[in-house]
């Protein structure tokens, strides 16, 4: 008796079930007729669907007198993890998991787990001299990574996914620094709960972290995200979902993978597979993917453990609750934000003095001042040139519940100042560069420009002699050292935007430079300098440039906010105001 078993192919199960879309559901019509679920919308148990999600759609069949009624979904199917359609899953990344590799990383996104190992750079022998390194990617699925067991050997290799990873990483890796060498990227999908291109996108993020641990120089970290579209034949619409689950992706007709370097605002890989019926929806999901890559970069850059901080920054870890009282609720800070964020009590003090309709933080960073402004002002405009800082600020503002009162803008302050007063290049500032800004009148501008890093207190390059350790804070900080263009240019830009300006400056700032800024103002202003203390340590100077209104309060107070309730004390203030 001949056997029907064919050893040359993978044989399916002995029994199979009917397609899910043949299941009948009760129609919304009162006559009790039944209709078939649209075959391109997966509904596992339509009998339990609420009727408000269903809709009867009449579909013509190519003849004037023939048509078909189908029951379709009015809106995208609710996601199993209660995420929005354009919301990515949170990521977990751990480096150093493979001891014998030059660098390694493990990424988890839901049930998806991907391990990446980096080997190299290794010298390539027996080949002619090549001026740059060769980046080789091997992409494999473990046999137990999905519900369908993968056969060992070449069946588990995915060269098309390896090409996506290679294309995304090549613009970021400085291969010209490693001539006649090879860098091997070995990707293993341990568990897959997304689409195939979704695994490739997550592999790019993990490989970027592994390359960093291996000490391979890069222009910036690369992060990836993916989306899938579930198409309804009845309504001819595509419902896009970012970072889909395996269940959502298996019934999708189109896929997008996008990889980018958020710190440089550069897209390194964009791959669209399948039809796209609506260009506007594709643009919308592409914007969502760009935002998702920025969030991934923010999560990758954040330092949440004491062990990850450099030795010279451990003092900031001890003061973490002074920076954010809700630090344990998930506050994210990258390395620069740890030493540049304003302590919460000082930020609140400044926000109280700047209470107004609309306030602006022109260098928002991780959001220390923005959050406090949102508690005292009706609306806040948060601007920063670094997209990673914008994502950190959004995340931290959501912890405090004030994200709805903040408009986040990513761009250069110089461009914003020109566009605000109408001196730009004719660009559409509302829907273009400054998307989301409704051109409100700004009442006060707060700026804490970069001071120059942790060692700003000892600018040895400003003197002819090395700093004296016995008086390490004696050097005066000139405002010309403020980034990007010096204190004078920064002050002029702020005066174009709002009549009131607040500068958050180093505690050893030159008072003569602070006074000279007043002479550069087009309108009369009065200077108020406030020393900002935490405990018994002077942290910074808050300089208020307010209009010279008769009867304006010029008396100042000194605050020592700490773990105990605020203690107020009248103290000696430095009034460098001048009369015109």
- What's 368's domain CATH number? 3.40.50.150
Per-residue pLDDT, 453: 62
252 and 347 fall within a common domain = no
Distance CA 444, CA 547 (A): 11
Distance CA 215, CA 515 (A): 46
118 and 51 fall within a common domain = no
Burial zone of 426 (CB within 10 Å; 0-12 exposed, 13-18 middle, 19+ buried): exposed
pLDDT band at 111 (very low <50, low <70, confident <90, very high): confident
443 and 409 fall within a common domain = yes
Q: Which domain holds residue 480?
A: 313-569
Determine how many CB atoms are found less than 10 A away from the CB of residue 487. 24
pLDDT over threshold 50, residue 469: no
pTM of the predicted protein model:
0.59
pLDDT band at 487 (very low <50, low <70, confident <90, very high): confident
243 and 323 fall within a common domain = no
Per-residue pLDDT, 52: 56
Q: List own/partner pairs for 478-487 with CB under 8 A and 24 or more apart.
A: 478/510, 478/513, 479/505, 479/509, 479/510, 479/513, 479/514, 479/517, 480/513, 481/451, 481/452, 481/456, 482/449, 482/450, 482/451, 483/449, 483/450, 483/451, 483/452, 484/449, 484/450, 485/414, 487/513, 487/517
Determine, yes or no, domain membership for 472: yes
Select from 53, 60, 13, 190 the least CA-distant residue to 116. 190
144 and 221 fall within a common domain = yes
Distance CA 270, CA 260 (A): 9
Per-residue pLDDT, 25: 40
pLDDT over threshold 60, residue 308: yes
**Do residues 115 and 142 make contact, with C-beta atoms less than 8 angstroms apart?**
no
pLDDT over threshold 80, residue 499: yes
253 and 330 fall within a common domain = no
389 and 489 fall within a common domain = yes
pLDDT over threshold 70, residue 262: yes
Distance CA 454, CA 473 (A): 13
Per-residue pLDDT, 273: 86
Mean pLDDT of 143-152: 74
pLDDT band at 411 (very low <50, low <70, confident <90, very high): confident
Length of the chain: 580
Per-residue pLDDT, 63: 53
pLDDT per residue as tens digits for the range 553-578: 444 445 455 433 333 333 333 333 33
Determine, yes or no, domain membership for 575: no
pLDDT per residue as tens digits for the range 225-240: 888 887 654 455 777 8
3-state SS record for 503-553: EEEECCECHHHHHHHHHCCCCCEEEEEEEEEECCEEEEEEEEEEECCCCCC
168 and 222 fall within a common domain = yes
Helix (H) or strand (E) holding 446: strand 444-447
Select from 252, 138, 144 the least CA-distant residue to 198. 252
pLDDT per residue as tens digits for the range 23-58: 334 333 433 333 444 444 444 444 444 555 555 556
Radius of gyration over alpha carbons of the chain, in Å? Answer: 29
Which segment of 54-68, 510-524, 525-539 scores lowest on mean pLDDT? 54-68
209 and 184 fall within a common domain = yes
248 and 341 fall within a common domain = no
Higher pLDDT, 449 or 17: 449
Per-residue pLDDT, 75: 52
């Amino acid at each position: 008796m001949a056997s029907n078993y064919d050893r040359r192919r993978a044989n399916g199960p002995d029994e199979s079930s009917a397609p899910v879309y043949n299941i009948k559901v009760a129609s919304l019509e009162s006559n009790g007729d039944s209709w078939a679920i649209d075959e391109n919308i997966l509904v596992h148990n339509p009998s339990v669907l609420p009727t408000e999600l269903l809709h009867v759609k009449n579909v013509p069949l190519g003849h004037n007198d023939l048509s078909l009624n189908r029951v379709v979904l009015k809106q995208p199917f609710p996601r199993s993890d209660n995420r929005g359609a354009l919301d990515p899953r949170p990521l977990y990344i751990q480096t150093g998991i493979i001891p014998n590799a030059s660098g390694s990383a493990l990424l988890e996104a839901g049930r998806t787990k991907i391990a990446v190992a980096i080997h190299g750079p290794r010298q390539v022998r027996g080949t002619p001299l090549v001026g740059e390194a060769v980046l080789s990617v091997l992409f494999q699925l473990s046999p137990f990574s999905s519900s369908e067991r993968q056969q060992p050997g070449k069946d588990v290799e995915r060269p098309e996914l390896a090409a996506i990873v290679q294309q995304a990483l090549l613009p970021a890796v400085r291969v010209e620094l490693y001539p006649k060498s090879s860098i091997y990227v070995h990707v293993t999908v341990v568990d897959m709960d997304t689409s195939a291109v979704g695994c490739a996108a997550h592999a790019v993020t993990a490989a970027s972290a592994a390359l960093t641990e291996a000490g391979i120089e890069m222009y910036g970290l690369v992060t990836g995200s993916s989306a899938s579209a579930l198409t309804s034949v009845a309504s001819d619409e595509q419902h896009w979902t970012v970072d889909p689950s395996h269940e959502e992706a298996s019934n999708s007709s189109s896929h997008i993978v996008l990889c980018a370097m958020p710190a440089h605002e550069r897209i390194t890989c964009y791959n669209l597979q399948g039809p796209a019926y609506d260009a506007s929806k594709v643009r919308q999901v592409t914007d969502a993917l760009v935002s998702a890559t920025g969030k991934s970069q923010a999560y990758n850059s954040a330092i949440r453990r004491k062990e990850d901080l450099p030795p010279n920054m451990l003092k900031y870890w001890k003061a973490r609750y002074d920076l954010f009282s809700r630090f344990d609720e998930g506050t994210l800070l990258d390395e620069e934000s740890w030493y540049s964020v304003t302590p919460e009590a000082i930020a609140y003090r400044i926000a109280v003095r700047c209470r107004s309709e609309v306030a602006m933080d022109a260098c928002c960073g991780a959001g220390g001042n923005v959050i406090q402004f949102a508690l005292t002002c009706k609306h806040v405009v948060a601007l920063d040139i670094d997209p990673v800082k914008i994502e950190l600020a959004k995340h931290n503002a959501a912890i405090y519940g004030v994200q709805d009162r903040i408009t986040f803008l990513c761009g250069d302050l110089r461009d914003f100042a020109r566009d605000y007063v109408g001196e730009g290049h004719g660009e559409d500032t509302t829907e273009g560069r400054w998307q989301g800004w409704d051109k409100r009148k700004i009442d006060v501008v707060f700026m804490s420009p970069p001071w120059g890093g942790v060692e700003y207190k000892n600018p040895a390059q400003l003197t002819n002699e090395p700093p004296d350790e016995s008086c390490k804070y004696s050097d005066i900080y000139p405002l010309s050292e403020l980034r990007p263009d010096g204190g004078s240019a920064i002050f002029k830009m702020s005066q174009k935007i709002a009549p009131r300006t607040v500068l958050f400056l180093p505690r050893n700032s030159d008072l003569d430079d602070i006074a000279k800024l007043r002479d550069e103002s087009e309108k009369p202003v009065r200077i108020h300098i406030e020393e900002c203390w935490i405990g018994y340590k002077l942290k910074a100077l808050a300089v208020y440039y307010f209009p010279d209104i008769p009867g304006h309060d010029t008396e100042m107070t000194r605050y020592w906010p700490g773990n105990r309730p605020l203690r107020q004390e009248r103290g000696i203030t430095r009034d460098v105001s001048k009369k015109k």
